[in-house]
Amino acid sequence: MNEQTITIIGLLAGTLTTLAFVPQVLQTWKSKSTKDVSLNTFLMFCTGIFLWLIYGLFKQDIAIILANFITFILASIILGLKLKYK
Amino acid sequence: MNEQTITIIGLLAGTLTTLAFVPQVLQTWKSKSTKDVSLNTFLMFCTGIFLWLIYGLFKQDIAIILANFITFILASIILGLKLKYK
């Protein structure tokens, strides 16, 4: 498989794993119900994504920075809603 | 910051974002309740992680392969539980 196709797979993967949290944000925003959502999962996930952001900044890798910046915002909203509507 | 510290940050980030889904698996496994968990989020996320796995295989990058292989298993369990206990 040529380099260009592999890059496209990477971009598609990054887009999907980034935007994947939009439905969870919308569902939680509407339902105000988070009982089944794990607080520890989103605490760990937000911390991990924040570290990926730091990693991307030091590596000056725009793909890592952009993907994790968006994911961090989405995951933080879910974490905030979880803390608010425990 | 030196290269070694940046690598450690990357490894820590990868470990956290991979193991972050363990608490959600345990909680869902015990509660059998998934109402608040978004099906679309985990459909998109599992697809994206699978593509990261393909990407890592073609790039022959063991870090990307390992992290996404574990995340794919955990996220698929959550997706399976969501489909089972809608």
| Distance separating alpha carbons of residues A24 and A82, to the nearest angstrom | 11
Interface test with B, best of A15, A25, A42, A45 (most B CBs within 10 A): A45
Let me know: does B80 contact B46? Beta carbons within 8 Å. Answer: no
Tens-of-pLDDT digits for all 86 residues of chain A? 788 899 899 999 999 999 999 999 999 999 999 999 999 999 999 999 999 999 999 989 888 899 899 999 999 999 999 999 98
* Chain-chain contact of B24 with A13 (C-beta, under 8 angstroms): no
Q: Which two tokens stand for residue B13?
A: 């980030």
ipTM of the complex: 0.89
Q: How far is B23 from chain A (nearest CA, A)?
A: 6
Question: Mind giving me the DSSP string for B45-59?
Answer: HHHHHHHHHHHHHHH
| Distance separating alpha carbons of residues B9 and A48, to the nearest angstrom | 9
- Burial of B44 per CB tally in 10 Å (0-12, 13-18, 19+): buried
Nearest to A49 by CA among A20, A7, A9, A81: A20
* Chain-chain contact of A38 with B19 (C-beta, under 8 angstroms): no
pLDDT at B55 over 80: yes
Give the residue numbers in A contacting B (CB under 8 Å), as ranges: 1, 6, 9-10, 12-24, 26-28, 31, 33-42, 44-45, 47-49, 51-52, 54-55, 58-59
- Count CB atoms within 10 A of the CB of residue A20: 23
pLDDT at B63: 82
The residue behind tokens 């915002």 is: A73
Confidence band of B86 (pLDDT split at 50, 70, 90): confident
Nearest to B22 by CA among B74, B62, B60: B74
Q: Which residue of B has its CA nearest to A5?
A: B55
Full set of structural domains in chain B with CATH: 3-84 (1.20.1280.290)
> What's A44-83 look like in SS3?
HHHHHHHHHHHHHHHHCCHHHHHHHHHHHHHHHHHHHHHH
pTM (2 decimals)?
Answer: 0.90
Residue A33's region, left for phi above 0, alpha for psi from -120 to 50, else beta, is beta
Residues of A in contact with B11 (CB under 8 A): none
